[in-house]
Structure 1
Amino acid sequence: MSPLRRRTFLVLAGGLGSMAGSGVFAGRAAASVINGELLTSRIELPEPFSVPLPAAPFAKAVRQADGSDRFEVVQRAADVEILPGVRTRVWGFDGLFPGPVFTGQAGRPVVVSVRNELPVPTSMHLHGGVTPPDSDGYPTDLVVPAGWQHHDAMAGGHHDAPAAGRQLTELTKEYRYPLDQRAATLWYHDHRMDFTAPQVWRGLLGLFVVRDSAELALPLPSGERDLPLLICDRAFDEDGDFRYPSLDPELIDPPGVEDAYMAGVVGDVVLVNGAPWPELEVDAARYRLRLLNGSNARRYRLALRPGPRDGAAFTQIGSDAGLLAEPVELDAVPIAPGERYDVVVDFSAWPVGSTVTLVNTLGDGDTRWVMRFRVVREAADDSEVPARLADPDELSQDQAVAHRQFSFRRTRTSHGGHAWTINGESFDPETTLATTSLGSVERWRFISDVHHPVHLHLAHFQVVARGGGDPHPWDGGWKDTVDVRPKEPVDVLVRFRGYPGRYILHCHNLEHEDMAMMGNFQVE
């Protein structure tokens, strides 16, 4: 048994065997829709809607030269106010939680220089980016602190990592993003082998917005009415720091979480842009909401209460990888970890003076609430949602040169334990699940035992079938992450464009990912 597989067996064997009987897969809120166990806070929490929505901080380029934009950020610990009057230690990009919003122009390269001043290695992944493999944030392509002395414990005791292509860069790495892709709401987060979940939980995540001339020419809401909303859940300890059930709080060795949380960690506080259940004053006008589920394991079904006087609550205009061809009217937005939805809400559909609450219909207790909008004034509004938004390529079945199936499920090991696997295998950097050709299209089927949000690096795809029938209305457009429901196969047409190299697909329940629910695919 390889060191990695030995690590996976040791972590999983103790806890997963009893999960089905204990109800851990379902959590305590909604048995058929929530994966994970609720982690409760040990500190007094604020009343919902008692703090304002923070304005998202935008990163500023330090240099523009040679047709590219250069940004510099430092990953460091900082004490920030999340709960009112309380300081929380975070690991953040520039010490911020969440990190700054990067913006780029399609076709104009961006270089992000990342300096790691944390006590552990990191790996930055641009989720949704069409990125060369050396800048993609592969789990063993690590930026290590100066003088890092834990090489033997790297990646949870993965001693054969050098043979598997481990790359170590001391202190600072330049990530190069060509941005040869359409306008879209992307995001970035840590992707360190075995420790992605706790490092993202501590704050290593943020939004990355790509714009292009075609989108800018549309009369969509803009400026202060174009709102990035990063939604995630957390739990807090008595001292105000984040609470998380790591086996090693220092995040060195061993990796993993306490047995009860192996199905995923869900917190009891919902944060938007780093604030608990915030409130925002809005005009009676259209707003563009860029929704990201940045949670480790929690799924949301977002709705507005009360609903508008007429029509649907949301007009979806975009998906993970860019604008839809045409807008879609939705009364609710189901959003799994890693997914993004670009929607327009017209607040003139409520009387001035109204309060409109963004709720999570999958939540329980205070996790039912996300944030509140207060419609405070009439205002001029020259925005609109065109009947035609974009002309994205539509893939067809006859373009597929191969069909493949990937089964995401809990698998019994030969040693009597259980593991999170893809096609019965735990992640091994030396093993490839699929080899494909640059520029090709393939049909991939994802099947699962419980909810698994499946994410592909590099490649974007279109959902063509769900459960043997048509996709859901919200499945449209180009995507990089899709919620695969229990016993509901999802078929996608994947296009491999961009760059040759080694990439991964994985479950974006981050606890599942850390317990090796990943696999390599090779683009040649």
Structure 2
Amino acid sequence: MSENPGMTRRRLLGIGGTLGLTAATGLSTAAALSRRPAATGAELRSAIPLPAAFRTPLPLPPVLKPVSTSGSVDRYEVTQRETKVEILPGVRTPMWTYEGTFPGPTIEARRGRPITVTHRNELPVPTVVHLHGGRNTPTSDGYPTDLVLPEGWPEPVGGTSDMHQMAEMPGMDGMDSMDGTSGMDHMAGMRDPRAVVTRLTRDYTFPTDQRPTMLWYHDHRMDFTAPAIWRGLAGLHFVRDDAEDGLGLPAGAREVPLMIADRAFDGDGNLQYPALDPSLRDRPGVREPYLAGVLGDVILVNGAPWPVHEVDAARYRLRILNASNARHYEIEAVTDDGRRLHLVQIGADQGLLAAPITHRSLPIAPAERYDVIVDFADVPVGGRVRILNRLGSGRTHDVMAFQVARKASDDSRIPHVLARDVPAWRRSDAVRVRDFAFRAGRMRGRHGWLIGGQPFDPARTDVTVHLGDIEVWRLIADVHHPVHLHLVGFQVLSRGGRQALAHDAGLKDTISLRPGESAEIITRFDGYRGRYLFHCHNAEHEDMGMMANLEIG
């Protein structure tokens, strides 16, 4: 992580997409990395017979009802608990869930109307809830050490941080950590005097002061985000407003949320995951072959393996989320006779584009979202459209299918102008340019994933920005790194010194850096003062140090 205070602002901004970091790394190294395959991680293989593709009906996550709508706040309650869920047909799989379902229940919010979600932790370990893409105050952003402790977990000693209690935690005495030292030594370096820990429940209040879009909520506990999401702690959260409702886009049954994720199962139908500590209590990390990321061989959509969804011969709005830990997809819609349908992108992570963009395929990295229109009008009744993953092979090439069941009227439309509130930040508006390198490195004597050569430490402030400032951030990667900023959306200015790609359009909160690639993003740090994060959303990279603190002051 570096800032260049000695350079003039004009010269700094004139550098454009050519990263000084690339020169430091070596162009030959970047070129070699760019030839790596389009995957970062190792794949687990399921030991149980897997179902045929396109047989299981697509489930739609239930919409959570508020427990109260009085006053100016809608109130919800969510219990985090372990239960058995039917993922593979006829098999019950133990999972950690929000409200007993996977994905968790969907929350529907209206722009400008705050909501409060009371989470109750009945799981065996602490949890943290992060509303990904939300413009939230720091107290409700889900900072990784702001834990909700379950019953029976030792009380914090000597302050609000759970890190002060490590001497009392079960199994900590003499426990070996990732670096071969005791568990106490490992956690001592992670003390966070600013952490706010609660027992059993916590209220998360979301102002909902942001553009309409699809967000998602998931666990964000430090060192254990990846296995917690893998076990099921993820759900969708929509923000709506009257302007979007009035555009005439496909709605109701013709708006379909699609949470795509990969998993693997053992011979009994339990989830496989290569955790060093399967209890997820003490020892973070994964076994050596999976340090770059954990991939599964079963593709789930809304918690169902390779499902099929019955549709009319009409336009459909697909709200797509890649909720995988590490798997990248490049999706396309293909009829059984080999014809590719257009994917008309109308929105990105942070809401509607200014105008629609038509694609033949769309790459989607972990945590990215796309808002896409697919028109089934020219597919004959009885015909099928498969959603395929161009980056997959074997069973991971298939994602899901749509079966056209009937002719139907369709009064939806795709306006030429979708939104007029997409920011128009200019490079010349930036008051500062910063460089960040996302690379493998050493962390406490073992493999880690670092930002600017440093692993995450909650007690260290990495970047301080001023509320309201516009900045350009220049990012470079060694392998695939989907980089996510909390609180703010951003626009992609360039990739590799050239213009941004078509799928980079709009306001985003996650950018997929490809191996050896550099990119520039621009954002305005508005919203709230306080402590936030930016990090890689390959969840295994995140757990192994690839996070940094962002202080907005």
Same fold, judged at TM 0.5 (above): yes
Alignment of 1:248-287 (within 5 A): 248-287=277-316
**What TM-score does the superposition give when structure 1 sets the normalisation length?**
0.92
CA contact (8 A) 1:234 1:266 kept: yes
Quote the residue 2:509 is aligned against: 480
Deviation, 1:329, is 0.2
**Structure 1 range deviating more: 429-438 or 337-346:** 429-438
Deviation, 1:376, is 1.2
Superposed CA deviations along residues 290-344 of structure 1, whole A, max 9, x for unmatched, are 0000000000000011389999521000000000000000000100000000000
CA contact (8 A) 1:308 1:350 kept: no
Q: 1:298 to 1:333 in 2, by over 3 A?
A: same
CA contact (8 A) 2:341 2:374 kept: no
Aligned counterparts of 2:490 and 2:278: Cα–Cα separation in 1: 37
- Whether 1:82 and 2:87 are equivalent positions in the alignment is yes
**Structure 1 range deviating more: 306-315 or 178-187:** 306-315
Alignment of 1:97-496 (within 5 A): 97-149=102-154, 151-152=165-166, 157-159=186-188, 161-306=190-335, 313-391=342-420, 392-412=422-442, 417-496=446-525
Deviation, 1:440, is 1.3
Deviation, 1:64, is 0.6
Deviation, 1:398, is 1.5
CA contact (8 A) 2:145 2:192 kept: no
Query: Counterpart of 1:434 in structure 2: which amino acid?
Result: V
Aligned counterparts of 2:139 and 2:188: Cα–Cα separation in 1: 21
Aligned counterparts of 2:147 and 2:123: Cα–Cα separation in 1: 13
Deviation, 1:411, is 2.2
Deviation, 1:149, is 3.0
Q: 1:293 to 1:311 in 2, by over 3 A?
A: closer
Larger radius of gyration: 2
Deviation, 1:239, is 1.3
Deviation, 1:147, is 2.2
CA contact (8 A) 1:403 1:444 kept: yes
Quote the residue 2:535 is aligned against: 506
Aligned counterparts of 1:164 and 1:333: Cα–Cα separation in 2: 43
Give the length in aligned residue pairs.
Answer: 496
Q: 1:414 to 1:58 in 2, by over 3 A?
A: closer
Corresponding residue SS for 1:325: strand
CA contact (8 A) 1:436 1:521 kept: yes
**What TM-score does the superposition give when structure 2 sets the normalisation length?**
0.87
Quote the residue 2:50 is aligned against: 45
Corresponding residue SS for 1:95: coil
Aligned counterparts of 2:393 and 2:338: Cα–Cα separation in 1: 26
Corresponding residue SS for 1:45: coil
Corresponding residue SS for 2:226: helix
Q: Which runs of 5+ in 2 are unaligned?
A: 1-32, 156-164, 178-182
Query: Counterpart of 1:326 in structure 2: which amino acid?
Result: A
Superposed CA deviations along residues 250-298 of structure 1, whole A, max 9, x for unmatched, are 0011111111100000000000000000001100000000000000000
Superposed CA deviations along residues 345-366 of structure 1, whole A, max 9, x for unmatched, are 0001322221110000100110
Deviation, 1:81, is 0.6
Aligned counterparts of 1:354 and 1:343: Cα–Cα separation in 2: 20
Aligned counterparts of 1:433 and 1:338: Cα–Cα separation in 2: 23
Q: 1:67 to 1:252 in 2, by over 3 A?
A: same
RMSD between superposed Cα atoms in Å: 1.9
Query: Counterpart of 2:261 in structure 1: which amino acid?
Result: C
- The alignment-based identity, stated in percent, is 53
Q: 1:424 to 1:160 in 2, by over 3 A?
A: closer
Q: Which runs of 5+ in 1 are unaligned?
A: 1-24
Query: Counterpart of 1:115 in structure 2: which amino acid?
Result: R
**Structure 1 range deviating more: 399-408 or 432-441:** 432-441
- 1:32 corresponds to which of 34, 37, 46: 37
Superposed CA deviations along residues 134-181 of structure 1, whole A, max 9, x for unmatched, are 100000000010220384159974235554422210000000100110
CA contact (8 A) 2:335 2:341 kept: no
